[in-house]
Amino acid sequence: MNKSELIDAIAKDADLSKAAAERALSATIDAVVKAVAKGDSVTLVGFGTFKSSKRAARTGRNPQTGKEIKIAATTVPRFTAGASFKAAVAGKKAKKK
């Protein structure tokens, strides 16, 4: 599923126009990106958590030459799926606490 197919599904399920669904999806994505870029985490209960994570500097290897290269430290986005999402993908019902 790509972004336009997701917009179509949102519009159909939420009884919205495609333009309104696209604006809602874009606003949601923008809000998540801005929050994670600031260092905050975004938790959507039942779906998952978006957060940033620091990756340490390390030594890698150029696959063509075999020469060692230095890979700089960086900050990357992370997503951890929630229990309901994991259960849905596995085809099981989520456990109630």
Q: Over 70: is that where the pLDDT of 12 sits?
A: yes
Do 30 and 67 belong to one domain? no
Give a yes or no: residue 45 inside a domain: no
Mean of pLDDT values over 68-97: 88
Examine the domain organization and report whether 57 and 76 are in the same domain.
yes
Parallel, antiparallel, or unpaired for β 42-44 and 68-71?
unpaired
Contact 28, 19 (CB under 8 A): no
Q: What is the pTM of this model?
A: 0.79
Strand pairing of 48-55 and 42-44?
antiparallel
31 shares a domain with 12: yes
- Helices 3-14 and 18-38 cross at an angle (nearest 10°) of 120
**What domain count does the chain have?**
2
How far are the Cα atoms of 28, 45, 53, 57, 67 from residue 72, in angstroms, in the given order?
Answer: 31, 34, 14, 5, 16
How confident is the model over 14-69, as pLDDT tens digits?
999 999 999 999 999 999 999 999 999 999 999 999 999 999 999 999 999 999 99
Domain containing 21: what range? 1-40
By the 8 A CB rule, do 94 and 87 touch?
yes
The alpha carbon dihedral of 29, 34, 39, 42 has a sign of negative
Whether the pLDDT of residue 96 is over 80: the answer is: no
